[in-house]
Structure 1
Amino acid sequence: MKKYSVIIGAIIGISAMSIHAKTYVLTDTQNNIEVGSWKTEGQNYTIEQQVLHGGKQEGSKVITITSPNGLTIALSPTRGMGLLHAEGNGVHLGWKSPVTELVNPAYINLDSRNGLGWLDGFNEMVVRCGYEWTGHPTTIDGQIYSLHGKAQNTPASYVVVEIDEKPPFAIHVKGLIKESTFKKTDLRTMTQLTYIPGETSFKLHDVLTNHADYGHDYQIIYHSNFSQPILEEGAKFLAPVSEVSPFNDYAKKGLKDWTTYLGSTKDFDEMVFNLKPLSDQNGNTIAALVNKDNNKGVAIEFNTKQLPVLTLWKNTDTLKQGYVTGIEPGTSYAYPVNIERAQKRVKQIEAGQSVSFDLTYSLLSDRSQVQKVENTIKQIQGSTTVKQVETPIAKE
């Protein structure tokens, strides 16, 4: 009897911990709630939602969390709860895209340019590529599978801000993304960003649930994009991996120097590399981008049981064209869905089933923080030699 009392007590304790003193519902389509512009403040933070106007950003919303001695984080409920940028200690996380407006999905045709319409709004720091499908566009049995799926161009149906009642007063921004199509799919993802004021890291916890009565495929790539001041000539990509291969023939010539970066280079086409990440005994791993002097960087922690593959996207084109690199944990590489399915990387989610994805993003603003990440990566890498495969694992 005592054993069950302990279990029940633990469950009650967990439930009590999840109670939040302050809850703000900003969007709720089921109850016809749309707050619009909104703001709240605490001792060490400000949270604000702004509605944008003009051009193709008309009606787009931005939620900004500001912590004076920590981070400023901006995300958009209009664009699939995508993270626009983060900043702290003089270090900017994100990039400058030729797409300067926060484009409302109402102005985007995903099927345009033979399935590349997604690029008309691409300018975020973290893009959720999925969940019904992801990867390069293709047409199967007359259906266009556009670039990187629909989630990022799906406005959230439910948005809530919750603030813990006890120290450290964590802030949680949740948004529900629905991918529901008659006779096709009913996938719903509850996204959550958690940030503790004053800290220089934040967490993503996303739960994908299949609300249909039938099983369905799913894919996800967390397209995480960074540029200056971290990305520069001599910057380095760090991660424990067992294997690296070029995505296509063009990337072959960059295989020798795949971990280092060029400065802004005109006529540089994108190079993509497929990586097999190593992890510790619990599946935890980390990837990072650090500058040439090893005193600035960004790190992404994730779990290979949830996100088993890693893509590195190097797009060191001109600054005006888009000088950027992407560190992309995922369930799939960026090949079209038919290739990923044939190579058995497309996952299946059964009716009523849920799967979770957890990532932690950390800003690194001094040598000691960079060194700590490097040590962790070396520890996970151990004595494993990185195998370089010169032939792409697939051809589009």
Structure 2
Amino acid sequence: MHPILSALLSVGFGLLSSAAVAKEFVLVDAEAGKRETEWSITSRDLGIAAGPAFSVHSRMLDGGKQEGVQVIDVDNGRLSFTVVPTRGMNIERVTSGDVTLGWNSPVKEIVNPAFITLDSRAGLGWLDGFNEWLVRCGYEWAGHPGMDDGKLLTLHGRVGNTPASKVVVVVDDAAPRRIHIRGRVDEKVFKFADYEAWTEVSTEPGSESLRISDTLTNQSDYDREYQVLYHGNFGPPLLEAGSEFVAPVKQVTPFNDDAAKGLDTWTTYLGPTKNFGEQVYNVIPFVDANGSTTVMLRNKAADRGIRLTYGVAALPYFTLWKNTDTLREGYVTGLEPGTGFAYPRVIERTFGRVPKLAAGKSQSFDLDYTILTDRESVAKVARDIAAIQAGRATQMRTTPEVKE
């Protein structure tokens, strides 16, 4: 048993909404000045003999711009992923069998935010660390950089470059013994913002799925605007020439004139293409009877894919980002549910897409990702999406809403 395990097994921090008993381990606590630099737990350590073996390992990175970055590796016995508390609880990569969720960015290290200047390149400094599979964007703002009330708002906000102030690993006692990695990321600025975000990624041992369950709370005495975008990024093997984006689409609008040129083929992908640039599409999805929607990215052979299901009330808009540049430059597509689209906040506000969170209130965001590893599972998701579409037509808007 790990040397600190016996001291932590009985500790309860009241962090789960469920009444089920669970084992909780605090890895980071800024108030207490605590961080576990090397820590691990396994199903064997917990005395769990039944079911798939699993493990959680926290470690520190050294060298270059990743100096001082903490990562947490989770292996549920079938699916593995890496959470980065130092970078806003972003998820660096997910792997199950021969499918990897992630992409080959020119940025190779997991960059410590200490080496990033967000307002460089007229607000594009966020790109200096952009290489993860899933990046949370927000919370005071998200989207493209731009001026708002005389202030430069940088690309996609600050949360993805904010270290978590508290990190907890939770393992449920009852079957299926779900594994939770929770982190509190604070965005607090005198006179402007007082947000607390409890983020969570969880998985069941032996599954090919993971769940994002986040709660954003406005701790200010004033109502505040907020923006949220879940920037999920996919390269090979799911992305290739002939891959397809499948979704129940109510309305699609090209983001700009370049995207308008590709509207006829907006759901399909080229192979790596030099000088492609990028194309972005603004999507409003249809929903099912529960207020959720499902989208999928599948490969050309339709025998591998990713299913994303999420609640549309909290995330009513969806951005499809196509960046089929060369492999070396970053061949990637983004599947991005959000509170709005990726225009600067000042533009989004004019379209009523910048919500407010009342003083003391919270908003939750729930997203489920499942890796699809055979033809039948891909076909089933396609049928589920078709059922949500229910034969209804998609409104194709041929011109952008605005010009930045």
Q: Judge same fold: TM > 0.5, yes or no.
A: yes
Q: What TM-score, normalized by structure 1, do the two folds share?
A: 0.95
Who is 1:6 aligned against? none
Residue 141 of structure 1 deviates from its aligned partner by: 3.1
Q: Which residue of 2 aligns with 1:42?
A: 43
Contact in 1 for aligned 2:314/2:364 (Cα 8 Å): yes
Residues 15/173 of structure 1: CA separation in 2 closer, same or farther (3 Å cut): closer
Q: Deviations over 1:32-69 (max 9, x none)?
A: 1111111111141110011001111000111010133x
State the 1:281 CA deviation: 2.0
Match of 2:376 among 368, 371, 381: 368
Cα distance, 1:78 vs. partner? 0.4
Letter in 2 for 1:19: V
CA distance in 1: counterparts of 2:29 and 2:89, whole angstroms: 14
1:200 aligns with 2:208: yes
Contact 2:20/2:174 (8 A) holds in 1: no
1:127 has 2:135 as partner: yes
Partner residue, 1:159: 167
Whole-Å separation in 1 of the counterparts to 2:113 and 2:234: 23
Change (3 A) 1:376 1:46: same
| Cα distance, 1:142 vs structure 2 | 2.8
Cα separation, partners in 2 of 1:15 and 1:365, compared to 1, 3 Å: closer
SS at match of 2:87: coil
Alpha-carbon distance between aligned partners in 1 of 2:125 and 2:179, rounded to the nearest angstrom:
34
- Alignment-derived partner of residue 104 in structure 2: 96
The aligned counterpart of 1:219 is 227
Matched, 1:323 2:331: yes
Counterpart for residue 349 of structure 2: 341
State the Cα deviation string for residues 291-349 of structure 1 (Å, max 9, x = none): 00000001111011111011000000000000000000111100000000010000000
Which stretches in structure 1 are left out of the alignment for 5+ residues? Answer: 1-13
Structure 1 position 15, deviation (Å): 7.0
Q: Which amino acid aligns with 1:235?
A: S
Work out which of the residue numbers 70, 74, 77 in structure 2 matches 1:65.
74
Two-structure CA RMSD over aligned residues (Å): 1.1
Match of 2:116 among 91, 100, 108: 108
Whichever residue aligns with residue 112 of structure 2, its letter is N
Aligned to 1:23: 24
Question: For residues 277 and 35 of structure 1, do their structure 2 counterparts lie closer, same or farther at Cα, with a shift above 3 Å needed?
Answer: same
Q: What residue is the counterpart of 2:307 in the other structure?
A: 299
Q: Following superposition, which runs of at least 4 residues in structure 1 exceed 2 angstroms of deviation?
A: 14-19
In the TM superposition, what are the counterparts of 1:171-210 in structure 2 within 5 Å?
171-210=179-218
Deviation, 1:109, is 0.5
Which residue among 83, 88, 97 is the counterpart of 1:80? 88
Spell out, residue by residue over 1:138-170, the C-alpha distance to the aligned partner (whole angstroms, 9 max, x if none). Answer: 012331100000000000000000101111111
Match of 2:250 among 201, 226, 242: 242
TM-score by length of 2: 0.93
2:269 alignment partner, one of 261, 265, 274:
261
Structure 1, residues 364-395: CA drift from partner, whole Å, max 9, x if none?
Answer: 00011101100000000012111111110122
1:16 Cα deviation after fit: 6.9
What one-letter code is carried by the residue in structure 2 that aligns with 1:58?
E
- Whole-Å separation in 2 of the counterparts to 1:169 and 1:184: 40
1:225, 1:236 → 2: CA distance?
A: 15
Q: Distance in 2 between matches of 1:203 and 1:325?
A: 20
Distance 1:363 1:47 in 2: 20
Sequence identity (%): 48
**Residues 78-104 of structure 1: CA distance to partner in whole angstroms, max 9, x if unpaired?**
000001110112111111100000000
- Secondary structure (helix, strand or coil) at the match of 2:91 reads strand
Report the Cα distance in structure 1 between the residues aligned to 2:290 and 2:40, rounded to whole angstroms.
40
Distance in structure 2 (CA, Å) of the matches to 1:141 and 1:296: 46
User: Which whole-Å CA distance do the structure 2 matches of 1:172 and 1:207 have between them?
Assistant: 14
Q: Which residue of 1 aligns with 2:33?
A: 32
| Residue type of the alignment partner of 1:384 | R
Structure 2, gaps ≥5 residues long: 1-15, 45-52
Report the counterpart of residue 60 of structure 2 in structure 1.
51
Q: Is the 8 A contact 2:324 2:332 kept in 1?
A: yes
- Whichever residue aligns with residue 17 of structure 1, its letter is A
Letter matched to residue 315 of structure 1? N
SS at match of 2:387: helix
Task: Report the AA paired with residue 279 of structure 1.
Answer: V
Whole-angstrom distance in 1 between the partners of 2:76 and 2:199: 21
Q: State the one-letter code of the partner of 2:183.
A: G
Read off the aligned partner of 2:331 and give its amino acid letter. Answer: Y
